[in-house]
Structure 1
Amino acid sequence: MENIKVAKVENVKFLNKGNEISGTLHLTAYHSIFSDLEGKREIWTAYSMINCVRLCLNEKTYCIRIQCRDFMFYCLKFQNSTDAMDVYDTLRELIPVSSVSRLYAYHYMPTGEEGKVQSGWNLFLLENEYRRMGVGDSSRAEGAGANWRLTKINENYMECQSYPQILAVPTSVSDSVIHYGCKYRSKNRFPTLTYLHKNSFSITRASQPLVGLRQNRSAQDEKIVEAIFATSIIPGKENLIVDARPSTNAMANIAVGAGSENMDHYRFAKKIYLGIDNIHVMRDSLSKIVNALRNTDISAVPPSVEQLNKSNWLKHLTNILQGAVLIIETVHFHHAHVLVHCSDGWDRTSQLCALPQLCLDPYYRTIQGFMSLIEKDWLAFGHRFAERCCHLPGKRIFSTDNSSPEEQHSNSVASSTLQYTFCTFRSALSGFAIDHSEKMSSPVFHQFLDCVWQIMRQFPKYFEFNERFLRRLLYHLYSCQYGSFLYNSQRERKQSAVSQHTRSIWDYFISRKEEFTNLDYECYDDVLLPNATDLKWWASSFGQPDENMNVALSETSSSAPLLSSSTSQSPSVPV
C-alpha cells in the first residue's frame, strides 16, 4: 500500500445526526473503521459506498465530511490539521480504483455460514424459469405454453449483446425472422417473452423501433409482435404496446433514427405512452433529495419538506406504479398481451416488467422467487448496473473547503451559491465532473426497490421477505462486495468470469435467511393490485426515521389497494 500516510488515528470524533462519539479511526485496504473509546461499537464504511469526501480546514476546525450512497452522512473531527490532511490523502489513494478487478468483490472471502452455502451463481437458470411459467408445455398456461419455444439464437450474443443466451419466442416465429427482425430495434433488443401468465397472456419486452424520419418499417418485427399477441388460447381484444416514455421524448427520437411504433402497421394492438421520465431526470430527482439531507451529519434537524417535495421523487414512483397497475389489469383482468419498451429497453422497461410480475405471480413474492425476478429482468436482460451505479467514480468525489461544517450549514440555510451547490451536493450516484459516468448514472434500481417497498407496505402479509431484505439489497448494489451487480450485462460478466472470481449476492441472503424473513408471511395465491397514489417516503432507505420524512403525509389513502379474484374487475388507471 504505497503512498498511504496513515492507517490509524486516535482522538477522533464521529458526528452523525448531531450526535458525537469519541474514538479511533482505522483505515484498511477496503474499509474505514471507527471504534468508540470503550470498544463496544464499530462503524464500518466500505470505500465503494463513499460518494463524497470534503476536507474542511480553518483556524478552528479540522474535519472531513463524508456522504455515503446508503445516505449515511457523517463528519470526522480531528485534533489537528495534520491528522485531517493525512486521512484525506490516504482516502484519496484508497477509494478510487482504475478497474473493476480491483474492487472489493475480487478480494472478499466469506466466513461462517456464508462460506458454507452452495454458490448463488448456480441457483438461477433462465431456462428453468421459463419452464416454470409453462413455456413449451401444452398443459400449462391454459394450454398456451406450447405456443412458446426456447431459442439459442443468441447463444454467442451475436444477435443482441445485452440479451441473455436463452430466450423465449413464439413457436410460429423462426430464428431467421428473429435474425432479420432484431435489426429494427435499438441495440437489437427485439420483442421477447419475460412473463407468461397462468391465463395464457404475456408480458414481452423490447427496445424502441428504428422508425426514423423516413418512417421505416420491418415486416419481420411486425410478424414477431403479431405472433406474440396470437399465442393465447383466445385472441386478446385489448393488446397493448406500452411505451414508457413521454410522447414528446419518443417523437424527438425520430430525428435520430429511432422513435415509436407506427400503429398503422400494428393494427392488432393499441399503444399508450406512460410519460415516465428518463434517467437524467431521475438522477436530478435523487440529487435534490441528497441536497435536502446534506447536513444530517452535523444536525439532527429533519430535512426540509419543501426541498423533498421539489425532488418529485414520489411523483416519479406514482408514474411507474401506475404503469405497472395498467399492465397488471391488461394481462389479468382484460385478458390481453402487453409489449413493453422505453428507449433501449433496459431501464424503465425493467421496472415495468418486474413490478407487474411481483403482483401477478405469488412465486415472485417469496425470497427465492424475488431473487429469480431480479436475475431475470434486471441481470439477464441487461440493466446497465455499472453505468447506473457508477462503481468507478474516481477522485472527483474529493473536494476541500476552508469553512467549518457549522458555517456551511448556516450558509446553506441562508443562501448557497451555485458554485457551492455544484461542488458539494452532487448526485448520490456520480461525481463532481460532468463526464460520461455521471451522465449515465441514475437510481433506476433504487426506484424499483422503493416501488416494491410501497407495495409491501400496502400488502404487508403477502411477501416472504421483509423490509431489511430490500435495504440490504440496496446497500450491496453499491458496496461492490459481491460480483452480481458488476458490469453492464450477462455477456460482460461471463467474459470477465465474474462467477469464478467473486461471490454472488445471494450467498449473503441465503446464509442469513432468518434475518430477512417476514414472520407474518401468508401465501396469497392470486393477484395484488396496489394503489399507485398511496405512497410514503421510504425513510429508512434514506437513512432517516419515518417521522423525519413523512410528517406532512397522511397515513391513510383515500382509496385502498385491492386483492383480486379471477373474476373481479378493476377500474382503469389514468396515465
Structure 2
Amino acid sequence: MRFEDITIPNVDKVQLVDLLSNETTTTGSLHITPSHIIFRSDDGSREIWISTGLIGVIERGSISANGCALTIRCKHFRVISLLVPRDKTCQDLYETLRKIGEVVNVKDLPAFDIRNPQTNSGGWNRLEFSIEFSRQGVSSEWQETDINQNYAICDTYPNRLWVPTNATKNILEGSSKFRSRGRLPVLTFFYKPSSAALCRCAQPLAGFSARCVEDEKLMELIGQANSTNNNICLVDTRPLMNSFVNKVQGKGYEDVRNYNNMQFKSFDIENIHVMRNSQQKLLDACSSGRTITEYLKGIESSGWLKHLKAIVECSLFIAQSLHKGISCVVHCSDGWDRTAQTVAIAQILLDPFFRTIHGLQVLIEKDWLAFGHKFDDRCGHVGALNDEAPKEISPVFTQFLDCVYQVMTQQPRAFQYNERYLIVIHEHVYSCQYGTFLGNCESDRKDLSLSKRTNSLWTELDTRQDDFLNPFYEPFAFNEILDLDTRSSNFSVWSSLYNRFDLAAHPRENMYDSLMNSMEHVGVLESHIAAMRMKIAELRGLSASMIDSGLSSTEGVDDKLVLESPSSKESVAESELELVDDHLGRRVIRWQRLNEVYNCSSKRCMAEFSSNVERKIHCHNCGKIFCRRCVDMTSDESERICLDCAKRNQ
C-alpha cells in the first residue's frame, strides 16, 4: 500500500464512541497512512494509533442524525466505533480501510516500510539448531542430516533436521513420501533426564491398507535411540472420527500392528474451522453490555475453555510420557497446527529454559516458525482474490499463548515472564510491523529476505525486558516437570487479552505491575537512603576536621582565627547541608498511584494508556508516571528519569 493508493487520507469531525456507555466521548480527526490508522482528538488530549496489519473486519452501519456508523474490529481484539459526518465520506473511508486491510502481496505489509538497520542486531539469530540441541544434551544416538538441504524433501520443514543416527537416506526419503506434505518424523526435543525423544510429523498416507516399510523402520529406530526404553507412544491429536474420515481420502493414521513397540493415543483437539468459530463466540460473549447470565452462557456455548483443556491435557500426557522415559511421536493432519501447540506446551512443562524470556523466543522460533506453522494463512496477513483465504484463518497461535497463560496461573513462580509478554507477542504476530511472523515457513522467509528487509520483533523486545519480568519468579525451584490440575474449574477466560481495551472508570491495578512498582520504589528509596548516609558521614567528618582546625588555629595569627571561627565553620557546614537539601528537594518520596493516571505526564506527549498492557513507568526523580517513550536511563544506567527531569538536571 502506497500513499497514492489511499483515496481519503484525512477525515475531520469524526466522533469516537465509548463502547461501554455507547455515548460519543471525543471529537477529532482520522488520518490514514500505509502503516497506521491514527485518531487524534481536536483538543490534543487523545491519540490512538492502530497498525494497518491489525485491521480485521470493517463494518458500515446505517446513517443517523449524529452521523454514519463505522466500526473497526482489530485482530488484537480492539474495537473502534466511529461516527462519520457524511454518508459519502463514510463509504469512501470504508472502502479505503478495506483496501488497506486486504493485502494480497506480502511485500505490501508495513514491516517492509519501517526497517531501521541500526537497531536490528541479533534478533534474526535467535535459534541455531545445533546450539539448541547441544543445550538439550542430545545423545549420540541422534545426528544432524542435510537430506532436506534446499528443502529437497519437505519445503515446510527446516533446512537441517535431526534423526536417529542409524537412519539411512533411503529410510528418510521413504518415510517422507509416506507422510502428508513430506513431513517425516524428526526430533524437536530431547529430554536428557530420561533420554526420551519428542518427535513430530504429519499424518501417514495410509488410507485403509497402505503401509511403508521405511516409515516403520524409522519409528523403530526412534524407539531404539533410547537405550533404557525402546517403546514409543504415537500421539494423534485429532478426534478419532476425524482420523477415520481422513482414511477415506487416502490419509488417516498408523496401523500399530505394523509398528514394533508402539502404543497409540488419540486426543480430541478440534480442527481449525471449529476453533475459528469457537473464538468468535468467545469474543461475542466477552463483548460489553451482557448480563452475567448471558456472559456465562456465551462462554459455555463457545467451547473455548473446553478446547484449551484438551490441548493442555494432551501436552501434559506427552510431558509425563517423556518424564517416564517413553519417547513420543506427535502428529495431527499436516503437523503444523495442533502438533505445534502440544509439543511446545509439553516442552514448557518439562524444560525451565522455555519458561524464560529468551527461552520462549527460541521455542517459538523452533516449533512454530522453523517447523512451518502457516502464520500468513492462519493470521490472515495476506488475502487472496477468492473465498478460500478466510477459511484458512484460525487462532491456533492465540490458543497456544492462552494455554501458556493457563499454565502460568497454576504455576506463577515457575515463569520468568509475565502475561504482558504473551500479549505483546500476540499483538505483533498480527501487526505485521516486524518480519518475524511473516511467511508460512522457513523457506518463505528466506525467499523474502526478511532478515535483510525487515526488523525482528525479538530485537525490540530485548530493549523492554524489564516490562516483562515476573516478580514471583523462582528460577531454581521448578526444575522438574510442572504439576498441573486439568479439572475444568482451573481454566478461565483470559480477560487481559480478550478484554484488554475494556477499561472501567476505575481500573484495577495490575498485580504484577503493582509489585514490580513497589520493588522498584523500595530500591530507589534504599539507594537514596544509602546516599544520604554517605553524605551524613562526610558531614560528620567535615565537622570533626573543622573543630580540630579551629582548636589548632588559636596559636596562629588573628586573620586565621577569623577565617576559622565557629561562625565560619557553621556557614561552611550550612552550605554543605544546603546541597543535601537540594538533592532531597529534587526527589519525590511519594510516587503517583498506577490506577490514578490515564495519560503520560509529559505535556508534549499526553499519550493515553488505552489498555492494561501498556506499562506505566515512574520517573525516579519526580515520581510521575510516563509512557516508555518519555523516560530514559541515566548515563550510568542507575536511574530511570523522565526527559523533563533529565533536561532540568543538565
TM bin (shorter chain): 0.7 to 0.9
TM-score normalised by structure 1 residue count: 0.82
Per the TM alignment, residue 546 of structure 1 is displaced from its structure 2 partner at its CA by 9.8
Give 3-state SS (helix, strand or coil) of 2:252's partner: coil
Per the alignment, residue 10 of structure 1 pairs with 12
**Structure with larger RCO (C-alpha < 8 A, sep 6+):** 1
Check if 1:355 corresponds to 2:345. yes
Check if 1:42 corresponds to 2:32. no
Check if 1:325 corresponds to 2:316. yes
Structure 2: runs of 5 or more not aligned: 505-650
Paired AA for residue 243 in structure 2: A
Partners of 1:517 and 1:324 in 2: CA distance: 25
Per the alignment, residue 416 of structure 1 pairs with none
Check if 1:130 corresponds to 2:133. yes
Partners of 2:70 and 2:141 in 1: CA distance: 61
Instruction: Trace 1:408-487 onto structure 2 (pairs within 5 A).
Output: 435-487=387-439
Give 3-state SS (helix, strand or coil) of 1:528's partner: coil
Assess if the C-alpha contact under 8 Å between 2:56 and 2:101 holds in 1.
no
Per the alignment, residue 561 of structure 1 pairs with none
Q: Percent identity?
A: 37
Partners of 1:76 and 1:265 in 2: CA distance: 62
Instruction: Trace 1:284-363 onto structure 2 (pairs within 5 A).
Output: 284-293=277-286, 296=288, 304-332=295-323, 334-363=324-353
Which of 271, 275, 295 is equivalent to 1:282?
A: 275
Instruction: Trace 1:362-377 onto structure 2 (pairs within 5 A).
Output: 362-377=352-367
Per the TM alignment, residue 236 of structure 1 is displaced from its structure 2 partner at its CA by 4.4
Partners of 1:69 and 1:152 in 2: CA distance: 38
Assess if the C-alpha contact under 8 Å between 1:70 and 1:543 holds in 2.
no
Check if 1:103 corresponds to 2:112. no
Post-superposition CA distance 1:255-288 (Å, at most 9, x none): 1111111011113021011011111111111122
TM-score normalised by structure 2 residue count: 0.72
* Greater share of residues in helix: 2
User: Residues 4 and 264 from structure 1, CA distance in 2 versus in 1: closer, same or farther, beyond 3 angstroms?
Assistant: closer
Structure 1: runs of 5 or more not aligned: 136-144, 396-432, 549-575
Check if 1:527 corresponds to 2:481. yes
Per the TM alignment, residue 343 of structure 1 is displaced from its structure 2 partner at its CA by 0.8
Give 3-state SS (helix, strand or coil) of 1:470's partner: helix
Per the TM alignment, residue 471 of structure 1 is displaced from its structure 2 partner at its CA by 0.4
Structure of higher CA gyration radius: 2
Post-superposition CA distance 1:379-430 (Å, at most 9, x none): 11111111111112479xxxxxxxxxxxxxxxxxxxxxxxxxxxxxxxxxxx
User: Residues 441 and 393 from structure 1, CA distance in 2 versus in 1: closer, same or farther, beyond 3 angstroms?
Assistant: same
User: Residues 210 and 93 from structure 1, CA distance in 2 versus in 1: closer, same or farther, beyond 3 angstroms?
Assistant: closer
Per the TM alignment, residue 342 of structure 1 is displaced from its structure 2 partner at its CA by 0.7
Per the alignment, residue 85 of structure 1 pairs with 91
Which of 377, 382, 405 is equivalent to 2:372?
A: 382
**Matched length:** 492
Per the alignment, residue 617 of structure 2 pairs with none
Partners of 2:253 and 2:103 in 1: CA distance: 40
Give 3-state SS (helix, strand or coil) of 2:59's partner: strand
Assess if the C-alpha contact under 8 Å between 1:540 and 1:546 holds in 2.
no
Per the TM alignment, residue 195 of structure 1 is displaced from its structure 2 partner at its CA by 0.5
Give 3-state SS (helix, strand or coil) of 2:140's partner: helix
Paired AA for residue 451 in structure 1: C
Paired AA for residue 166 in structure 1: R
Paired AA for residue 119 in structure 1: G
Check if 1:263 corresponds to 2:256. yes
What is the aligned-residue RMSD (CA, Å)? 2.1
Instruction: Trace 1:400-415 onto structure 2 (pairs within 5 A).
Output: none
Assess if the C-alpha contact under 8 Å between 2:380 and 2:389 holds in 1.
yes
Per the TM alignment, residue 545 of structure 1 is displaced from its structure 2 partner at its CA by 8.0
Give 3-state SS (helix, strand or coil) of 1:146's partner: coil
Per the TM alignment, residue 80 of structure 1 is displaced from its structure 2 partner at its CA by 3.2
Per the TM alignment, residue 197 of structure 1 is displaced from its structure 2 partner at its CA by 0.2
Give 3-state SS (helix, strand or coil) of 1:53's partner: strand
Partners of 1:263 and 1:279 in 2: CA distance: 27
Partners of 1:301 and 1:22 in 2: CA distance: 30
Assess if the C-alpha contact under 8 Å between 1:202 and 1:338 holds in 2.
yes
Partners of 1:153 and 1:42 in 2: CA distance: 53
Per the TM alignment, residue 74 of structure 1 is displaced from its structure 2 partner at its CA by 1.9
Assess if the C-alpha contact under 8 Å between 2:120 and 2:455 holds in 1.
no
Assess if the C-alpha contact under 8 Å between 1:119 and 1:503 holds in 2.
no
Runs of 4+ in 1 over 4 A off after TM superposition: 299-303, 544-548
Partners of 2:18 and 2:189 in 1: CA distance: 45
Per the alignment, residue 419 of structure 1 pairs with none
